[in-house]
């Protein structure tokens, strides 16, 4: 369909635009540093599989990132793909997705999601690749400079195990999963924060070898509280990735207005209800060694 010119800019995609297929009108609003999370709503039939995972991200938010950081037919990698939100988004956006997931149950749910939530006659589902196993091993099998965009949400340390997590108690009452797995290779099961961060950074470093030069990584992460301390996980990760040859280009706040407000701390202390995540946007500006 032909795009129409408006006061915000020309209707056509600039021939100088090597990043995406967006016109000026589509590009400029996406640079705003705060996004409101766009969920499906619990009643949507398409949320059935998503809800079986303890920490999915919304495929519509991933679609926005994919549209901004890639062109049609390019390759998108998610090394922690969970129940396949990135593959679903890549498929709907006409990109080729590669997803890696450790938990076999989530691998099967991802495949089921692609088979049941996408119209097979309209979209190229077979071009989506689901790889099962530890990202640390599977990534070594992918070719250097073979991916155009990495987008993912990793485990936030072992925070799902914390017993004071009200959301966890709510999931238990509904019979839903509260952790990714009991597998010792699961990054969500590492007890030491520093070791967890080191392993995670190692995975993103390997992703940089696979990511073409000057292409982007978007990591959706949240801060968290543990034993009365606030951890700036987003900041720790961004700083560590800058030491690995990525350059931080910006941080988006992903506001989650649908989350419940709990009376944490009342009436004794300030304990925040964390209703936002961060999207770290980094670019591979160094040649991988």
Within positions 22 to 41, which residues make up the interface with ligand SAM, using CB under 6 A?
Answer: none
ω into 33 cis (within 30 of 0): no
Determine if 65 is a binding residue for ligand SAM (CB under 6 A): no
Helix spans in the chain (H)? 24-27, 59-69, 85-92, 104-117, 135-138, 166-173, 193-210, 233-242
The residue sitting closest to ligand SAM, measured at its beta carbon, is: 82
Determine if 17 is a binding residue for ligand SAM (CB under 6 A): no
Q: How many residues bind ligand SAM (CB under 6 A)?
A: 26
Question: Could you tell me the smallest distance in angstroms from the CB atom of residue 50 to ligand SAM?
Answer: 7
Strands (E), 32-186: 34-36, 75-78, 96-101, 129-132, 147-152
Stretch that binds ligand SAM, among 40-48, 50-58, 224-232, 242-250 (CB under 6 A): 50-58
Question: Could you tell me the smallest distance in angstroms from the CB atom of residue 28 to ligand SAM?
Answer: 27
Q: Which is nearer to ligand SAM, 27 or 68 (CB)?
A: 68
Crossing angle for the helix pair 104-117 and 85-92, to the nearest 10 degrees: 30
Question: Could you tell me the smallest distance in angstroms from the CB atom of residue 220 to ligand SAM?
Answer: 7
Strand partners, 254: 35, 277
Q: Which residue in 153, 205, 215, 277 binds ligand SAM (CB under 6 A)?
A: 153
Determine if 150 is a binding residue for ligand SAM (CB under 6 A): no
CA dihedral 46→180→165→58, nearest 10 degrees, is -30
Determine if 186 is a binding residue for ligand SAM (CB under 6 A): yes
């Amino acid at each position: 369909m032909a795009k129409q010119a408006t006061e915000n800019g020309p209707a056509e995609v600039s021939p100088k635009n090597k990043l995406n297929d967006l016109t000026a009108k589509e590009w400029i609003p996406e640079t705003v540093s705060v996004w409101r999370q766009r969920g499906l709503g619990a009643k949507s039939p398409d949320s059935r599989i998503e809800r079986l995972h303890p920490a999915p991200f919304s495929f519509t938010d991933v679609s926005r990132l994919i549209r901004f950081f890639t062109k049609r037919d390019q390759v998108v990698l998610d090394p922690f793909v969970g129940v396949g939100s990135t593959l679903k988004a890549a498929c709907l956006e006409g990109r080729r997705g590669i997803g890696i997931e450790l938990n076999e149950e989530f691998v099967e749910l991802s495949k089921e999601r692609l088979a049941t939530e996408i119209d097979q006659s309209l979209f190229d589902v077979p071009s989506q690749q689901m790889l099962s196993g530890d990202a640390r091993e599977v990534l070594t099998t992918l070719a250097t400079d073979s991916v155009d965009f990495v987008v993912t949400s990793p485990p936030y340390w072992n925070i799902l195990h914390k017993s004071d997590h009200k959301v966890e108690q709510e999931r238990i009452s509904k019979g839903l999963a509260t952790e990714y797995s009991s597998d010792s290779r699961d990054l969500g099961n590492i007890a030491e924060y520093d070791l967890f961060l080191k392993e995670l950074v190692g995975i993103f470093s390997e992703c940089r070898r696979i990511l073409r030069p000057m292409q982007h990584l978007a990591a959706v992460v949240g801060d968290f509280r543990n034993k009365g301390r606030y951890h700036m996980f987003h900041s720790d990760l961004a700083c560590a990735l800058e030491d690995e040859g990525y350059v931080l280009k910006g941080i988006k706040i992903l506001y989650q207005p649908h989350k419940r407000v709990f009376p944490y701390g009342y009436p004794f202390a300030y304990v925040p209800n964390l209703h936002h995540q961060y999207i770290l946007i980094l670019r591979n500006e160094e040649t991988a060694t």
